[in-house]
Amino acid sequence: MSPAGSPLLDVLREPSRMAALRPDHWDRLLREARAAGLLARLESLARRAGCLEALPGRVRDNIRGEQAWVAYHQLRIRRELREVRRALAREETEVPLLLLKGAAYMAAELPSAEGRLLSDLDLLVPRPKLEAVERVLLAHGWESRVEEEYDQRYYREWMHEIPPLVHPRRGVEVDIHHNLLALTGRYRIPAEKLWARARPLESGLLVLSPADMILHSAVHLVVSDELRGGLRDLFDIHQLYLHFTAEEPDFPRLLEERARELGVARPFWYVARAARALLHTPFPAELLDPPGDAPGPLVAALMHRLVTRVLRPRLPEAPRPAVAQWLLFVRSHWVRMPPGLLAAHLARKSWWRLSGRRRAH
Amino acid sequence: MSASLPSSVPGSGGTGLDFRFGPFRVLVQDPLPELLEPFLFLYGEAPLCKGEGIRDFHLRVVPVAGIRRWVRPQVRFLLDGASPFDPFPRSHAFPLMEWGLNYAIAVRAHQYCLLHSAVLERDGKALILPALPGSGKSTLCAALMHRGWRLLSDEFGIVRPDDGLLLPMPRAIPLKNRSIGAIRDFAPDARLGPVYPATRKGDVAHVAPTADSLRRQDEPAEPAWIVFPRFVPGSDCRLEPEVRSRAFVRLSNNAFNYHLLGEVAFTVFTRLVRGCSCHQLRYGDLDQAVRRIEELAA
């Protein structure tokens, strides 16, 4: 019997369980893992738990099939990064490049990189260098993905990035950010604080500090549409937390302090509670206690239910929890935009959808 | 053909049709009669699986909602709940499932190098017939199968990267239009399924894999010959050697996942082409083509 009601959650909580699963649990686990984007990661989990040899042949075949996609995409991203650096170097543009999310995990060789499917290249550059970087890339063959003037404004003025760039010969989407959260949003992190703690890698590229990596991933998860990326991002946070705590026993306290310092204690709290509930991430009590600006117990309980319901693994044919996802979708826009702007934006978007205009994002 | 599935058939319970071909185990949930009957006619019970197990693919062929459930009824193919194609007529549920299963393999099974080729075996050695438009690959494959060659697959050359061996997955061979008659003439004892008129590819009927092919579906084969076939009506039969470097390029362009697998594919294909005798075959007559290939394999 599956303790979590989901064999995927069972093994994410305790990977060594993979050594002794029944075939029908594996059958379900493969489907849950594939739907959640976590299939290829089972291999590194099994290897680290010392039970890779115990996996049935058919399971290893399916994992290997998925890993072909992972390896292909990781190679594409590595190549794209090299091309971006080459273009900037050619123009002698000295720009510190900070890698975000999947590319960062890959470059820093973190456990969350193993088996992770990444599709875009996300970079953070200092605000004053943004126009120069955009200019250089456009001059070297990258093209802006977004044509509509309205959407261009959406990206530039309201979000925190220039519209995605793609080089037509390679097709990889490059997202250049100057901050991590929408300028109009409720949670604003001053970029200088992130840069102040950024860590350099051997290659000269930078990544966020360990606490900032987790906080970025957590806040991005809560404010994104429908909690897109869902369980996979939650598991990233779980793995990162375990990894950094093993390296630095004082890490939980540093994480809590930094969350307050950046003003993101509340969204992080939602995520921490979800990770604790679904993945049994061993957060200490301080990180699970309501922060100073926590909502009342009713709202808090509702958010917790919504978040965990949407993030739970689902079999492909099971109905999506529609109401839960819609509510979170609205909320995510709320935290990105002031209500008046949000209403106008949603109205415009739904008109476009009805009249068949191509959506930009 | 029988009207209903006997309850004693394993895997036939309320949940679905559970079967295996070669390396892939499949569950088709809630199979419609239009799917089950041709399946059992062409394959019998040999591929069916019993009991709990791990499946590679969970498929469904379901009636479309709304008016098309009743009026000129249509069905949709689902792989893990996702529908990659437009609907088919309900009466074509079986070919839709076969086509959909091929799609699922091509999208997911990258633990193997997947050639788009027919593969047959004789005396432990395998013949690869890459599929190109106008090659007549399926017809030639069905003909060879009825001259003592074991069918590995009509559609996929499944190469295991570790050892370069080809894995069998013997399934029904779909024939189009005039090929149906050609095979009826060539092999009167061939087991042919129902004719599906006017599909996207014209009339389609399936040739059942021989009992021997099904029985030996766990026996891999060593690649020995690569023959690029080209059917030109009225032409004479000519088998010519193909330069290995060109064979490599043609084969890799023809594969499903060469680009995706990158370096792994390069190594596998190099070894494959080096280890095979490579040819191209132009033919206008099926008998002559079969005989020419027999000579090659002798």
pLDDT by residue, tens only, chain A of 361 residues = 577 789 999 999 999 999 999 999 999 999 999 999 999 999 999 999 999 999 999 999 999 999 999 999 999 999 999 999 999 998 877 899 999 999 999 999 999 999 998 889 999 999 899 989 999 999 999 998 776 666 666 666 655 667 889 999 999 999 998 887 654 566 777 889 999 999 999 999 999 999 999 999 998 888 776 566 689 999 999 999 999 999 999 999 999 999 999 988 988 999 999 999 999 999 998 888 888 877 788 888 888 888 888 888 888 777 666 666 666 666 666 566 655 666 666 666 666 666 655 443 3
Whole-model pTM? 0.89
Q: Is A75 on the interface with B (CB under 8 A)?
A: yes
The per-residue pLDDT of chain B, averaged, comes to: 92
pLDDT at B13: 39
User: Which of B54, B57, B60 would best serve as a mutation to test chain A binding (most A beta carbons within 10 A)?
Assistant: B54
3-state helix, strand, coil split of chain B in percent (to 5) is 35, 30, 35
Does the pLDDT at position B107 exceed 60?
yes
Q: How confident is the model at residue B252 (pLDDT cuts 50, 70, 90)?
A: very high
Q: Are B105 and B24 in contact (CB under 8 A)?
A: yes
C-alpha span between A120 and B122 (Å, rounded): 48
pLDDT at B133: 80
Q: Is A59 on the interface with B (CB under 8 A)?
A: yes
Distance from the B18 Cα atom to the nearest Cα atom in chain A, whole angstroms: 13
pLDDT at A154: 64
Tokens coding B164:
């370069």
pLDDT at A96: 95
- Judged by CB atoms closer than 8 Å, whether chains meet at A72 and B262 is answered as yes
Strands (E), chain B: 16-21, 24-29, 57-63, 74-79, 88-89, 113-122, 125-130, 150-153, 156-159, 166-167, 173-176, 196-199, 202-207, 222-231, 238-241, 277-283
Closest listed residue to residue A113, CA positions, set A124, A103, A100 = A103
Distance from the B153 Cα atom to the nearest Cα atom in chain A, whole angstroms: 19
Give the strand pairing for B196-199 and B202-207.
antiparallel
Q: Is A64 on the interface with B (CB under 8 A)?
A: yes
Q: What are the Cα distances from residue A292, in Å, to A110, A268, A296? A: 32, 13, 11
> Would you state the torsion angle of the CA atoms of residues A241, A242, A243, A244, taken in this order, to the nearest 10 degrees?
50
C-alpha span between A35 and B119 (Å, rounded): 33
pLDDT at B108: 97
Please give the residue that has the higher pLDDT: either B2 or A187: A187
Does the pLDDT at position B6 exceed 60?
no
DSSP state of A359: P
Distance from the B269 Cα atom to the nearest Cα atom in chain A, whole angstroms: 16
What would the pLDDT profile of B119-156 be if each residue is shown by its tens digit?
A: 999 999 999 999 888 788 999 999 999 999 999 999 99
Q: How confident is the model at residue B1 (pLDDT cuts 50, 70, 90)?
A: very low
Nearest residue, CB atoms, B52 vs list A24, A58, A66: A24
Q: Is A301 on the interface with B (CB under 8 A)?
A: no
- Judged by CB atoms closer than 8 Å, whether chains meet at B82 and A316 is answered as yes
Nearest residue, CB atoms, B108 vs list A27, A65, A315: A65
Does the pLDDT at position B196 exceed 90?
yes
Question: Which residues are CB-contacts of A158 (< 8 A; sequence separation ≥ 6)?
Answer: A182, A183, A184, A336, A337, A341
Q: Are A66 and A34 in contact (CB under 8 A)?
A: yes
Closest listed residue to residue A259, CA positions, set A295, A224, A304, A213 = A213
C-alpha span between A270 and A187 (Å, rounded): 14
pLDDT at B4: 43
Q: What angle do CA A187, A207, A75 make, to 5 degrees?
A: 115
Q: What is the mean pLDDT of residues B221-242?
A: 96
Q: Are A53 and A18 in contact (CB under 8 A)?
A: no
Q: What angle do CA B229, B231, B232 make, to 5 degrees?
A: 135
Helices (H), B146-261: 178-186, 211-215, 244-254, 258-261
